[in-house]
Structure 1
Amino acid sequence: MKPETTAVILIGYQNDYFSPDGILYPVVEESSRVTGTLDNTVALLDALAPTPALLIATPIIFTPDYSELEEPVGILASIKEAGAFKAGTQGAETIEQLRRFGDRILQVPGKRGLNAFSNTALDQILQDRHIEDVIIAGTVTSICIDSGGRAAHERGYRVTILSDCISGRSNFEQDFYCEQIFPLYARVIGHQTLLQEMAVPLTEQHTAAATVSHSPISQTIDGNHE
């Protein structure tokens, strides 16, 4: 996999999902903690920022009256009812951890539903950059991650979903999709494996953190040992 033909699609990295005071923070809090979504995503971006890899964020933002949602159902109805992701609110803004990357992350506006390709220029941008591999990270595993991954596959891209950079509504959902659903159309790997395949080293800070997190003692404490 070559960085120059690879794009990382960052889905849902907004305060309403990932900030402790976010409206929908409780929805993904447990899964985010278990998978280490934010720490792993930042490690990935720190490593890829100096490379030619395309980094894209596709935030979901609605007008204050949600006029673009006609008779919403499911998660979109819940978002409207809760008042999440309104334009001009802190909840709709990109999380602080990603803002520090500035314009290194290309913001692609227009997402109003589950699919990052719908109502956005995402596909055209990927074509213009001759992207072959699409990497998916973010939230929610069973909704926007699955929808975006399928859409990328249907458009002819090779899709990789990073199991340690996505968050579900529960640990069961996370495991089920990573083990049973995503492999039907995508590869499912961790961010360190991806970087190894791209021959991109972790930064020294993240290398040290990874070493600690994968020590036998740490694994036993976290309950993640195999």
Structure 2
Amino acid sequence: MKQALIIIDYTNDFVASDGALTCDFAGQILEKSIAEKIQEFFNKKQLIIFANDLHKENDPYHPETKLFPPHNIENTEGRKLFGKIQNIYDQINHLDEVITLDKTRYSAFTGTRLELILRERQIDEIFLVGVCTDICILHTAVDAYNLGFKTTIFKDCVGSFNEAGHDWALTHFENTLGFAVK
């Protein structure tokens, strides 16, 4: 079975203590577990996708402009991957099994080539890690459900700045979408 690991929004703006929209410690404690999952998928020669939020500075048309402070602005330090995940990415990003996607909505599927990439490679099972559990992970998971992908969320690899939302989302993945939460 072909699989893909999708790392969502594990960037400085979402994870670093001084990030513009940070999960702070709830995101930082995921670093080791996410690094291990990347290594595991790399060793199995499975697809690894980095799907990162991309915003333009002072974009008056993006709906998040009214909801959140500016974050993940193109060509900023805030958009780089957090900690050693950036180092790992720098070492492997040239490989065919590693893809980077810019996303401009919560879901990694909306407005991107993600579904096409997965279908072209005959991938039917995806694994989600990153932040925020109750926003971008959730919306990506709902789209994956609607598109028929078998999906697993690694609970030690997702986090949020909203603990209640995080807990609710984990329950929703399992009880409403029927996904594995490991």
Q: By how many angstroms is 1:24 displaced? A: 1.4
User: 1:22 aligned to 2:19?
Assistant: yes
User: 1:106 aligned to 2:84?
Assistant: no
Q: By how many angstroms is 1:96 displaced? A: 3.5
Runs of 5+ consecutive residues of structure 2 not aligned to the other structure: none
In 1, the alpha carbon distance for the partners of 2:27 and 2:15 equals: 8
Higher strand proportion (structure 1 or 2): 2
Runs of 5+ consecutive residues of structure 1 not aligned to the other structure: 191-226
What SS does structure 2 have at the residue aligned with 1:52?
A: coil
What's the % identity of the aligned pairs?
21
Is the contact made by 1:159 and 1:185 (CA closer than 8 Å) also made in structure 2? Answer: no
Is the contact made by 2:17 and 2:25 (CA closer than 8 Å) also made in structure 1? Answer: no
Is the contact made by 1:158 and 1:186 (CA closer than 8 Å) also made in structure 2? Answer: no
Q: Which residue of 1 aligns with 2:7?
A: 10
Is the contact made by 2:59 and 2:65 (CA closer than 8 Å) also made in structure 1? Answer: no
Q: Give the RMSD, CA atoms, in angstroms.
A: 1.8
Change (3 A) 1:88 1:32: closer
Q: Which residue of 1 aligns with 2:180?
A: 188
2:79 aligned to 73, 92, 100, which one? 92
1:18-49 per-position Cα deviation (integer Å, ceiling 9, x unaligned): 12221112xx224336xx32211111112221
**What one-letter code is carried by the residue in structure 2 that aligns with 1:97?**
K
Is the contact made by 1:8 and 1:135 (CA closer than 8 Å) also made in structure 2? Answer: yes
Q: Which residue of 1 aligns with 2:156?
A: 164
In 2, the alpha carbon distance for the partners of 1:32 and 1:122 equals: 24
Q: Which residue of 2 aligns with 1:39?
A: 32
Q: By how many angstroms is 1:175 displaced? A: 2.0
TM norm structure 1: 0.71
User: 1:152 aligned to 2:144?
Assistant: yes
Change (3 A) 1:176 1:96: same
Q: By how many angstroms is 1:65 displaced? A: 2.3
From the CA coordinates, give the structure whose radius of gyration is larger: 1
Q: Which residue of 2 aligns with 1:195?
A: none
